[in-house]
Amino acid sequence: MINRFRKNFLPRIALLFMAAESTASSANSFVDEHTLLATLLRELNTIDRLTTSPVAVPDQESRRFHFDYVRLRADIHRVSSGIQQYLAPKRATPRDDIALHGDYSNEPVLDQ
């Protein structure tokens, strides 16, 4: 099941970044930027749904390392909310300077 998840998840992420890069180079107007950001938002929602699927739940006891889906989902939600606020601003407000986690691998702490 994990292999099926990797086969479905990783190509989508690669496609997302390729689409963002190619579209960003040609996005010269507001409409193009709005379309790009709306597309990125949809892709982030898809990735979020994939990380909550039963296939994404790792077997914690059989592996030394595991992917931290909770951190990934928190960062996805943070980026998504930033895009949503940019696309539909309520008013000019200061930005929230909370850093993303960025590190999604966990090593179990060995008792010594």
The percentage of the chain sitting over the pLDDT mark of 90, rounded to a whole number, equals 20
Q: pLDDT digit string (tens) for 48-88?
A: 988 887 666 656 666 677 778 888 899 999 999 999 988 88
Distances (CA, A) of 84 to 30, 32, 34, 70, 90: 15, 16, 11, 21, 10
- Please list the residues that pair with 105 across neighbouring strands: 67
What is Dmax (Cα atoms) for the chain?
Answer: 59
Q: Report pTM.
A: 0.55
Question: How is the chain split into domains, by residue range?
Answer: 2-58+66-90
Residue 22, phi then psi, degrees to nearest 5: -70, -35
Res. 23: pLDDT tops 60: no
